[in-house]
Amino acid sequence: MPSYLEPEQVRLELVDGVPTITLTDVTLEDLSGWTVLNRRTLVVVDGPGDEGFLLKRLDGEQGDRAPDGWDDAVAERGAVDFVAQGVRVAASVVA
């Protein structure tokens, strides 16, 4: 079951056009078999076994925490990179 991460632990950004999620204070157990479900209100990054993260995308004060062009970049690439403790992992998009 994915763990909820507080908004201050998550940064959604486009890095050279690549949708990237940077997670703070998170360690990954397994680096293969990750998927991402990208929705307007939240993002679910699901890994192997019980590993995974639920990321709040909408913030009442900030609005959408994803940058302009995020959804198009995710759809076009079909994957999202995410970084935890300096380790970069690609997660394929699921519908």
Task: Tell me if the pTM is above 0.85.
Answer: yes
Residue 29: what pLDDT? Answer: 87
| Percentage of the chain lying above the pLDDT 90 cut | 83
pLDDT tens per residue across span 68-94:
999 999 999 999 999 999 899 999 999
User: Could you give the strand order of the β-sheet that contains 10-15, starting from the edge strand earlier in sequence?
Assistant: 3-5, 52-56, 42-46, 35-38, 87-93, 79-84, 18-23, 10-15
- C-alpha distances in Å from residue 8, one per residue of 30, 66, 83, 84, 92: 23, 13, 15, 14, 24
Q: Which of 38, 34, 48 is nearest to 88 (CA)?
A: 34
